[in-house]
Amino acid sequence: MSTRTFRITVRGSFDALTADQRAGLLAAAPEHDILHAVFTTEGHLTYDVTPGPFFTFRFLDSGETEEDVLDATARAGHDPGGNGPGGRRGARMAAQRTATP
């Protein structure tokens, strides 16, 4: 069986941000602009909180079976290291997660 690379996209919204959290996101916004979007093994977050509290998290993983796709998708949303949206304070994930083999 050959190894496949998965590009996983998680879309969601920041939920009930405090003024300090919103200010922090605005200050870091240039680093998270959509023009810098990439798929990486660490994951990459893009957002623009000015028009709305939405974000996209892109994650790169690999595996050989369908279960590997499911595991990678779960890791993208619940990264205990805090890189995924599930590790970000004030983040709420939407139901949409897509994996592209």
Question: Cα 64 from chain centroid?
Answer: 22
pLDDT digits (tens, 9 = 90+) for 28-83: 999 999 999 999 988 889 998 887 888 888 888 888 888 887 887 777 665 444 44
pTM comes to 0.67
Q: What is the CATH number of the domain that holds 33?
A: 3.30.70
Quote the CA–CA distance of 45 and 17 in Å, as a whole number.
17
Domain enclosing residue 60, as ranges: 4-100
The total of structural domains in the chain comes to 1
DSSP of 48-93: -TTT-SEEEEEEEEEESSHHHHHHHHHHHH--TTS-SGGGSTTEEE
Question: Cα 36 from chain centroid?
Answer: 14
- pLDDT band at 94, cuts 50/70/90? very low
pLDDT for 2 equals 85
